[in-house]
Amino acid sequence: MGILTGKTALITGAARGIGKAIAMRFAQEGANIAFTDLVIDEEHGGKETERELAALGVQVKGYAGNAADFENTAALVSQIKEDFGSIDILVNNAGITKDGLMLRMTEAQWDAVINVNLKSAFNFIHACVPVMMRQRQGSIINMASVVGVHGNAGQANYAASKAGMIALAKSVGQEMGPKGIRANAIAPGFIDTAMTQTLPEKIRKEWIDKIPLRRGGTVEDIASCALFLASDLSSYISGQVIQVDGGMNM
Ligand code: NAI
């Protein structure tokens, strides 16, 4: 018996990285897992993730879809509701970066990041909230970033999208609290994933030197925080943003 036994969690962008780690952690605690990604195949990891989750003995299915697409998301969520019966936990994790200094940033860079990182969360919350309202309970977790709190030169689009994720969680928390639905945000700092492994060694070192705990975070560090926010361990917590960053910002 895990702390999420009997619950269904929907996690976006979970074929790999932080989303996958969250899915694995939730499944270890007994949650059934519906996850999405752009494609679910062998090449991009989705099929392997599906197998690893199924090996934990819970109900699992990966769904292909662009989280930034409103109509597609509505159809996908209604399919998930049919396949799993309930949706108790929603983790809006899908995200991309398209960095550039303001003067050089193109409209396409801006639009892509806002649509994939922020509009996607609106799409999924909009589709899931009616289901959660009928259940009179639900936990929504938006994956933000420390740069959504503090800003970051060269990431105006990304930082704005992540600040939006925080305000979105707070607004939904206020609207939906009376219906038993909580909404919170996680703001990871420097986490070792595909997104950060491409950075030059010098930049990585500069980041690590700013972190009191003197290491990058692991995907499991984020998954532990997500587990807390998803479960009844945080039953009286809503509208909060938890920075999981090794103490980088105090
Ligand atoms: P990742 O790139 O390893 O994984 C992101 C996943 O989202 C990929 O599987 C990708 O295919 C999927 N995805 C991208 N666009 C999508 C779309 N339109 N629809 C559906 N799925 C889509 O990234 P990582 O590092 O695991 O990041 C996960 C989340 O955590 C993101 O929201 C990211 O912004 C956030 N984050 C990551 C940090 C880090 O240091 N890695 C720090 C702070 C926040």
Position 45 confidence tier, pLDDT thresholds 50, 70, 90: very high
Give 243's contacts (C-beta < 8 A, 6+ positions apart).
Answer: 146, 149, 187, 189, 249
| Residues forming beta bridges with residue 41, ordered by sequence position | none
Position 67 confidence tier, pLDDT thresholds 50, 70, 90: very high
State the average pLDDT over residues 28-37: 98
Distance, CA 133 to ligand 1 centroid (Å)?
28
Q: For the domain that residue 118 is a member of, what is the CATH number?
A: 3.40.50.720
* Displacement of CA 145 from its chain's centroid (Å): 10
Residue 1 domain-assigned?
Answer: no
Ligand 1 close to Cβ of residue 116 (< 6 A) = yes
Yes or no: say if 145 and 113 are a contact pair by the CB < 8 Å rule.
no
Yes or no: say if 110 and 155 are a contact pair by the CB < 8 Å rule.
no
Ligand 1 close to Cβ of residue 49 (< 6 A) = no
> Where in the sequence numbering do the catalytic residues fall?
158
DSSP reduced 3-state for 155: strand
pLDDT given at position 196: 78
Q: What is the crossing angle of helices 156-176 and 120-135, to 10°?
A: 20
How many structural domains comprise the chain?
A: 1
Angstrom distance (rounded) from CA 129 to CA 183: 11
Angstrom distance (rounded) from CA 177 to CA 157: 30
Residues spanned by the domain of 188: 8-243
Predicted TM-score (pTM) of the model is: 0.98
Position 193 confidence tier, pLDDT thresholds 50, 70, 90: confident
Residue 3 domain-assigned?
Answer: no
For the segment 77-128, what is each residue's pLDDT rounded down to a tens digit? 999 999 999 999 999 999 999 999 999 999 999 999 999 999 999 999 999 9
Residue 187 domain-assigned?
Answer: yes
For the segment 122-177, what is each residue's pLDDT rounded down to a tens digit? 999 999 999 999 999 999 999 999 999 999 999 999 999 999 999 999 999 999 99
For the segment 200-232, what is each residue's pLDDT rounded down to a tens digit? 889 889 989 999 999 999 999 999 999 999 999
Residue 249 domain-assigned?
Answer: no
Atom index in ligand 1 nearest the CA of residue 94 equals: 7
pLDDT given at position 199: 83
Determine the residue type at 226. Answer: A
